Amino acid sequence: MAAPRPMTITEKILAAHAGVPWVEPGQLVEVRVDFLMANDITAPLAIRAFREMGATRVFDPERVAIVLSHFAPSKDIRSADQCKVAREFAREQGLVHYYEMGEGIEHALLPDRGLVLPGELVLGADSHTCTYGAVGCFSTGVGSTDLAYAMATGETWLKVPETLKFVYYNRLQPWVTGKDLILYTIGRISCDGATYKAMEFTGEALADLSMDGRLAMANMAIEAGGKNGIFNPDQRTLDYVARRAQRPCSPVWSDPDAEYAEVYEFDAAQIEPQVALPWSPDNVRPLSQVERVPIDQVFIGSCTNGRLDDLRTAARILRGRRVHPEVRAIVIPASRDIYLQALKEGLIEIFMAAGCVVSASTCGPCLGGHMGVLGKGERCVSTSNRNFVGRMGHPESESYLANPAVAAASAVAGRLCHPEELGIRYEEVAGVA
Amino acid sequence: MKEEVAAVGRVWKYGNDINTDVIIPARYLFTTDPAELAAHCMEDLDPSFAGRVQPGDVIVAGRNFGCGSSREHAPVAIRAAGVACVIAVSFARIFYRNAINVGLPILECPEAVEALQDGDQVEVDVAAGTIRRVATGETFQAAPFPPFMQEILRCGGL
Ligand code: SF4
């Protein structure tokens, strides 16, 4: 049945999951969910809420994932106890997609394992659940109670968001990645510029982006307040999904005449590598205009930039070089699969030889959890997504958010640094951005 | 639940973009115990808050309150600290849902945020959406919650 109004990809997915021919922004809809996720921090609260509701079984043990990623491998007794609560629940419920500590960060694992697919509706008890929009699904973060309700019923209620369209025209410049595009975008619209809204990313510059780059972009939609970030699938998406999908799926695309609350057009050719200065991901400047501050630590990892592309780029910069003697550099592949592949490609050896610490997959320092917490007054260049006060450690520590090439170059220089300042030509690392 | 419908308390005033990392830092997310979380509420923003806040007090903040992480521990910590209501210019989306789900009353009222000062005594009627500054009698009107959300709040959460 033809819809009486043209719809965006977000609206189409919500309509399909509400079982109605069409929806419009502002409408409250009850929708069925395709996949749910919680981690070691949010699962214990969700499990308690689930039991308090009187629920006994999850709606479908093949569609609820629990991933131990945050304080895992457990950093102390209490986090071990939280992991235990999650683990025991997963066993009791027979969850097929329970991922033990070290398997990876949920936002790297789920897309890579083909568990979140084009056209689907996904909820996760983690704000960066918006990452999966890179494959063309509607995916949003919720709290533990909302997740518990969905675990019990397979449904939730949502308000249909207005959509903001972001068009990146022209081609990407050297050294510019998905991370830079999204930082630039957040800097332009501010950290509540997309609150309650869908962010739809389009434009010719994005055709150049690998899936890893798109995942990094969608990952940070929440940093502008977005309800979801989403890409219309292209051939690259469909190829990525075809190799992985664990279920059949039905991709959808925005109608050409769909209505947008606002359309932003950005000239990709004018965008250079970006940096978010303390203490907000919207405090963004082009790298060329940021003071070359000395640093104490570099972190290359997280659900934003701990993927293979990111590690390859960083390794090409660190190959044959040494981390600055006054800098600690920490590299954390975002999943075991990524770690294994990096091992096969020799990347881990490059990192180790350069003087980096390489750890099992975990969120680790991204949330000031473990594996590289910052002390008072320390400064870090991080490839993660948040640089709030106290996010990575002491409330007086500072984090600068950047892409992996800038982070790796900064590790060598001992200060914030563009790779070209080390005499590295883009051609040496190209093909992987 | 009485103080959740009509509260009198002190205003704790904060700025824009108060994120859930400062409301409850991740280093304390090894527990789901509300009292333990409350002991560290707002710690990285205002270390004195948790020790001084009294039952019935009100947090007043600017735009985008509760942005960032989806941790439901944030509204849980605020509620367990005794805060009767958070009044802000606007709330981040996930926090808004979480607050309702855990029974923490929240009101959007830019006029009240502009007028109220740290330390003011205010009386808040969440059901009616009215906020009264005790010293002057000025009142501010926020849009009240839709009935189904009021029902959730009355029950202390989902
Ligand atoms: S890597 Fe950081 S942002 Fe991503 S899920 Fe882990 S803690 Fe959250």
Give per-residue pLDDT as tens, B47-59.
999 999 999 999 9
Contact assignment for A192 to B21 by CB distance below 8 Å: no
In angstroms, the separation between the Cα of residue B109 and the nearest Cα of chain A is 17
What's the 3-state SS for A284-348? EEEHHHCCCCECCEEEECHHHHCCHHHHHHHHHHHCCCCCCCCCEEEECCCEHHHHHHHHHCCHH
pLDDT at A108 over 90: yes
pLDDT confidence of residue B147: 78
Average pLDDT value for residue range A255-268: 98
Alpha-carbon gap, residue A37 to A127, rounded angstroms = 11
Enter the ipTM: 0.95
Cβ neighbour number for residue A356 with a 10 Å cutoff = 25
pLDDT confidence of residue B3: 41
- B61 in contact with chain A, both atoms CB, cutoff 8 A: no
pLDDT at B1 over 60: no
Model confidence pLDDT, tens digit, residues A359-416: 999 999 999 999 999 999 999 999 999 999 999 999 999 999 999 999 999 999 999 9
pLDDT confidence of residue A3: 66
Alpha-carbon gap, residue A113 to A279, rounded angstroms = 34
Alpha-carbon gap, residue A243 to A384, rounded angstroms = 27
pLDDT confidence of residue A2: 61
pLDDT confidence of residue A431: 59
Percentage, residues of chain B above pLDDT 90: 84
Alpha-carbon gap, residue A222 to A201, rounded angstroms = 14
* Radius of gyration of chain A measured on its C-alpha atoms: 21
pLDDT at B156 over 70: yes
Model confidence pLDDT, tens digit, residues B107-151: 999 999 999 999 999 999 998 999 999 999 999 999 877 777 778
In angstroms, the separation between the Cα of residue B77 and the nearest Cα of chain A is 13
- B143 in contact with chain A, both atoms CB, cutoff 8 A: no
**According to DSSP H, which parts of A76-210 are helical?**
77-93, 106-112, 144-153, 178-189, 204-207
Cα–Cα distance list, A377 to A380, A400, A415 (Å): 10, 13, 15
**pLDDT, averaged across chain A:** 97
Strand blocks (E) in A136-261: 138-141, 155-159, 163-169, 198-202, 228-231
Contact assignment for B44 to A390 by CB distance below 8 Å: yes
Task: Identify which of A130, A303, A370, A401 to mutate to test ligand 1's pocket (most ligand atoms within 8 A of the CB).
Answer: A303
pLDDT at A294 over 80: yes
Average pLDDT value for residue range A185-203: 97
In angstroms, the separation between the Cα of residue B44 and the nearest Cα of chain A is 6
A393 alpha carbon – ligand 1 mean position (Å): 14
Percentage, residues of chain A above pLDDT 90: 97
Percentage, residues of chain A above pLDDT 70: 99
Average pLDDT value for residue range A417-429: 95
pLDDT at A334 over 90: yes
One-letter identity of residue A58: V
Smallest Cβ–Cβ distance between A127 and the set B22, B68, B157 belongs to B68
Alpha-carbon gap, residue A277 to A379, rounded angstroms = 11
Average pLDDT value for residue range A13-28: 97
CB-ligand 1 contact for A367 (6 Å cutoff):
yes
Tell me the chain B residues in contact with residue A222 when contact means C-beta distances shorter than 8 Å.
68
A386 alpha carbon – ligand 1 mean position (Å): 9
Closest residue on chain B to A280 (Cα): B17
Alpha-carbon gap, residue A241 to A98, rounded angstroms = 21
Alpha-carbon gap, residue B113 to A366, rounded angstroms = 33
Closest residue on chain A to B64 (Cα): A192
pLDDT at B5 over 80: no
pLDDT at A354 over 90: yes
Model confidence pLDDT, tens digit, residues A195-244: 999 999 999 999 999 999 999 999 999 999 999 999 999 999 999 999 99
Atom of ligand 1 nearest to the CA of A386: 3
Cβ neighbour number for residue B114 with a 10 Å cutoff = 11
pLDDT-derived band at A432, boundaries 50, 70, 90: very low
In angstroms, the separation between the Cα of residue A320 and the nearest Cα of chain B is 36
Contact assignment for A146 to B31 by CB distance below 8 Å: no
CB-ligand 1 contact for A366 (6 Å cutoff):
yes
**According to DSSP H, which parts of A105-203 are helical?**
106-112, 144-153, 178-189
pLDDT at B2 over 50: no
A39 alpha carbon – ligand 1 mean position (Å): 10
Residue A404's nearest CA partner among A303, A294, A287, A314 is A314
Atom of ligand 1 nearest to the CA of A306: 1
Closest residue on chain B to A81 (Cα): B30
Contact assignment for A141 to B94 by CB distance below 8 Å: yes
Contact assignment for A144 to B72 by CB distance below 8 Å: yes
Crossing angle between the packed helical segments B93-102 and A144-153, to the nearest 10 degrees: 80
pLDDT confidence of residue A200: 98
CB-ligand 1 contact for A303 (6 Å cutoff):
yes
Model confidence pLDDT, tens digit, residues A46-67: 999 999 999 999 999 999 999 9
Contact assignment for B72 to A280 by CB distance below 8 Å: no
